[in-house]
Structure 1
Amino acid sequence: MRDALEPGPAPIQLPSRLERVIGPMSLAQSEDCLSVNVFTPSTTGSRPVLVWIHGGAFLTGSGGQGWYDGTRLANEADVVVVTVNYRLGVLGFLPLDGIAPPNLGIADQLAALEWVRDNVAASGGDPGRVTLAGQSAGAQSTLTLWSAPRAQGLVHQIGLQSAPVGVLPQTPDEAADSADRYLHALGVRSAAELTTMPTDRLLDGLKALAARAKAGISLPFQLVADHDLVADDLIAAAKPARALVSWTRDEVRAYGPEAPQEQIDQQTAAIFSGDLPRLTKQLGEDATLMRFDWGAPGNPYGACHCIDVPFLFGTHDAAPGAACLAGAPEGLPEITDLRQIWAQFLHGERPVIDTPLLTAF
């Protein structure tokens, strides 16, 4: 037995490219990072479970960030909220022949789901009513695991916020090229050298890659289609599901707040929303599609990527440095609209979308 009332360390990572938009990471970092955080109204009873996978382009983030504190959502929705850590960047998504298979971070998420199946009843949760959900890379992970044979039976419905469905998993050849670029940026000839390298040096390679990357949204490491955990086409592989799917109106404004609206709309469609009709058709009639439209008055970021997350968790006050919330009126954590929609969904009801925050489709 040990004191486990504080979040564990975050995975090893560099500062997020969106740190200015959503606020900085405040947790210590460690390779020993594979933990979950459980929020429950009571350890008695048997209530629905939400397993949440954080975003961050498979490079940054932690389920222990204050942004994802599940206290308010668990109490208001009467559910158990479980937030998950998984390996990121080089340690989680850099495949190396003979050293590291692809998609280790996804395997971590699968292990967390198995932990929930075996242990969540002790926290008042029902392992037969598990919703897997996430935002951005966490939503893409959710869609990935929904079709993964090894995850069957662990998840019963899914929620996707800002899934980058326009980004296909890499082929093994593309992943090998990405690995070669990383090794070249790090200045090493053999991948075996990475196995004894300190994490600071591994992050140096990421810094070098970032310095060479073109402006815009780029992903140094991505999912790799391995015909095991990750399908070639995540939409085509998706089986019918009860699903709650959303995106934000101005997704890519997080990366370019001064860009013309026409450009924002085009890039948002290309990466996030353009393939959602195909996805919801694939998921079937029990899929609900909606767009998050709220932006702080006069704020140049508008309804940008990530801005919906604190509305779900009621955690606006956990990111006082978030530029996307600058100028917002007080009392945002008390706005329950999005949490009520999710509560209906988590309890098996058809969500009723009747709020100025959202547009139903």
Structure 2
Amino acid sequence: MTVTTDAEAPVVVTPSGAVRGRVHRDGGVVEFLGLRYARADRFGLPTPEPAGDGTRDARTPGPQCPQLASRMDAIAGPSNADDLGQDEDCLRLTVRAPADVRPDERLPVLVWIHGGAYVIGGVDLSWYDTARLVREGRVVAVGVGYRLGILGWLRAPGVSPGNLGLADLTAALRWVHEHIAAFGGDPDAVTLVGESAGAHAIACLMSAPDLRGLFRRVILQSGQLGLGLGTERSAARVAGHVDDALDGADPRTVGIDDLLEAQRRAMVRHAGPGGINSAPAFTPVAGVEPLVGVSAADPWVAAAHSGHPMIIGTTADEANTFVHIAPALRRLARRFPTPVAWGSRLATHRVFTWPAQRLATRAAAAGTTVSTYRFTWSAPDSGLGACHAIELPFLFGGREAWQEAPMLAGASWDDDVEPLGVALRAWWCGFAR
């Protein structure tokens, strides 16, 4: 890393120009926030951010992609989402590195891809602060933002080609390959780490032969692999719902609030009566770039044969999260607790556990090094068990960000979360090496 002598506002010279970051509040880590890796018009393909003169400021987090309100606070506790704001100019990433990285070092790189069912989330949410991983594992960490919901996943010929979120992630990985050495990272030692939709997206990237050289290893946490991929038919149906909601307005020019309302209405119609259709309305579509040749009937064959060493796993009670955040299911659980509990276990197995095991088995049979895990820890007073997202406080280790999480109710941060978190971060960073 080429850094100026200003310890409080480090400057790194990258292939596309100099950027000024800051020292992380906990010390020992430098961070460069809100770095624009590409630009894109609405429903357009991303184009790389051009080189610039002068020094760009990277001390302020980037905005989230425009999105509807999230219910994840009911599981994960409060975040800084309101402070970040929302903007369609959201193709940003954040880089963190050890403050004392040497110019000749080539540290392993962890690229974090956040979850959120492809419709919510953001790279600079306080939940996803990677400083502990950087400090304890001596790695360079990159968090990536990408387009969500209707902006990233609408497939409507003549309007949006579909899979734009994957195009964004591809552009970000190309940026990492070209720029990360300037921050002390090794572009040939990139590990992708994703949870939920982030893990699903990584499986999609693994399925595209032309993209496999952009990363070396993968960690898939609680990917909803059992939901598979969208099809041209399902995508056309969702696009029709969007057209109906917009009532003739052009999605390319309509105001963002109206577009998000069309997204909401399309999601409700797609879910059907009682919301029983759990497949996401806005999702990667099989057969569309970069998933040309990938079959929706058995989508993860190519991923299993990608050759990337893999850690893959799930939590013991994934679906409890979705019961808790869905008002109708929560009411049903109060009236009929036993049937709902059985249904939650079945959904956990079909959407998360069994597909992860199948991918791991296929990859191992193809000669890939595979490790699997099952996260079973649960808080004594949460009533949520080892629910979806329960491992994230352990992975990121940010007490301030996670200590009010309802899924940790009754647990001791020092006695429960911290010891297992230290071990988990060591495992993940050791794998990246």
The alignment's TM-score, normalised by the length of structure 1, stands at 0.90
**Aligned partner of residue 95 in structure 2, secondary structure:** strand
- Larger Rg over CA atoms: 2
**Aligned partner of residue 307 in structure 1, secondary structure:** coil
Report the alpha carbon displacement of residue 159 of structure 1 after superposing the two structures with TM.
Answer: 0.6
Equivalent in 186, 189, 197 of residue 254 of structure 2: 197
Partner of 1:357: none
Change in Cα spacing, 1:19 to 1:182, as seen in structure 2 (3 Å) is farther
Partner of 2:63: 9
Q: Bigger shift: 108-117 or 166-175?
A: 166-175
Q: Is the 8 A contact 2:163 2:288 kept in 1?
A: no
Query: Which digits, 9 at most, give the CA deviation of each residue in 1:60-91, with x for residues without a partner?
Result: 00111111111110110111110000000111
**Aligned partner of residue 251 in structure 2, secondary structure:** helix
What is the CA–CA distance in structure 2 between the aligned matches of 1:254 and 1:313, rounded to whole Å? 19
Matched, 1:312 2:395: yes
Partner of 2:50: none
Query: Which digits, 9 at most, give the CA deviation of each residue in 1:242-276, with x for residues without a partner?
Result: 10101010001001245544322211011101122
Equivalent in 285, 300, 304 of residue 235 of structure 1: 300
Equivalent in 146, 165, 178 of residue 206 of structure 2: 146
Partner of 1:41: 98
Query: One-letter code of the match for 2:60?
Result: E
Q: Bigger shift: 328-337 or 195-204?
A: 328-337
Q: Is the 8 A contact 1:317 1:333 kept in 2?
A: no
**C-alpha RMSD of matched pairs (Å):** 1.8
Query: Which digits, 9 at most, give the CA deviation of each residue in 1:77-121, with x for residues without a partner?
Result: 111110000000111001111121110011000000000000000
Q: Is the 8 A contact 2:246 2:259 kept in 1?
A: no
Matched, 1:252 2:319: yes
Matched, 1:296 2:383: no
What is the CA–CA distance in structure 2 between the aligned matches of 1:320 and 1:263, rounded to whole Å? 29
Unaligned runs of 5+ in 2: 1-54, 325-332
Query: One-letter code of the match for 1:254?
Result: T
What is the CA–CA distance in structure 2 between the aligned matches of 1:2 and 1:276, rounded to whole Å? 42
What is the CA–CA distance in structure 1 between the aligned matches of 2:422 and 2:318, rounded to whole Å? 22
Report the alpha carbon displacement of residue 277 of structure 1 after superposing the two structures with TM.
Answer: 2.5
**Aligned partner of residue 195 in structure 1, secondary structure:** coil
Matched, 1:341 2:427: yes
Q: Bigger shift: 337-346 or 314-323?
A: 314-323
What is the CA–CA distance in structure 2 between the aligned matches of 1:333 and 1:7, rounded to whole Å? 26
What is the CA–CA distance in structure 2 between the aligned matches of 1:119 and 1:28, rounded to whole Å? 27
What is the CA–CA distance in structure 2 between the aligned matches of 1:204 and 1:273, rounded to whole Å? 33
Matched, 1:188 2:247: yes
**Aligned partner of residue 61 in structure 1, secondary structure:** coil
Report the alpha carbon displacement of residue 7 of structure 1 after superposing the two structures with TM.
Answer: 1.6
Q: Which has the higher contact order (CA 8 A, sep 6+)?
A: 1
Q: Is the 8 A contact 2:227 2:279 kept in 1?
A: no
Unaligned runs of 5+ in 1: 348-361
1:202-217 residue pairs with structure 2 within 5 A?
202-212=259-269, 213=271, 214-215=274-275, 217=278
What is the CA–CA distance in structure 2 between the aligned matches of 1:65 and 1:333, rounded to whole Å? 20
Query: One-letter code of the match for 2:383?
Result: P
Query: Which digits, 9 at most, give the CA deviation of each residue in 1:24-57, with x for residues without a partner?
Result: 4332110111111111114431111011100001
Q: Is the 8 A contact 1:63 1:83 kept in 2?
A: yes
Q: Bigger shift: 220-229 or 30-39?
A: 220-229
What is the CA–CA distance in structure 1 between the aligned matches of 2:418 and 2:243, rounded to whole Å? 44
Report the alpha carbon displacement of residue 321 of structure 1 after superposing the two structures with TM.
Answer: 4.4
Q: Is the 8 A contact 1:146 1:155 kept in 2?
A: no
Partner of 2:353: 273
Q: Is the 8 A contact 2:114 2:144 kept in 1?
A: yes
Partner of 1:51: 111
**Aligned partner of residue 75 in structure 2, secondary structure:** helix
Matched, 1:64 2:124: yes
What is the CA–CA distance in structure 1 between the aligned matches of 2:180 and 2:408, rounded to whole Å? 34
Equivalent in 256, 273, 280 of residue 219 of structure 1: 280
Query: Which digits, 9 at most, give the CA deviation of each residue in 1:156-186, with x for residues without a partner?
Result: 11110001110111111211111112222x2
Query: One-letter code of the match for 1:236?
Result: V
Partner of 1:122: 182
Q: Is the 8 A contact 1:102 1:226 kept in 2?
A: no
Q: Is the 8 A contact 1:248 1:305 kept in 2?
A: yes
Q: Percent identity?
A: 38
Q: Is the 8 A contact 1:248 1:293 kept in 2?
A: yes
- Matched residue count: 344
Report the alpha carbon displacement of residue 309 of structure 1 after superposing the two structures with TM.
Answer: 1.2
Report the alpha carbon displacement of residue 234 of structure 1 after superposing the two structures with TM.
Answer: 3.4
**Aligned partner of residue 121 in structure 2, secondary structure:** coil
Change in Cα spacing, 1:183 to 1:322, as seen in structure 2 (3 Å) is farther
Q: Is the 8 A contact 1:56 1:136 kept in 2?
A: yes
Q: Bigger shift: 256-265 or 307-316?
A: 256-265
Matched, 1:327 2:413: no
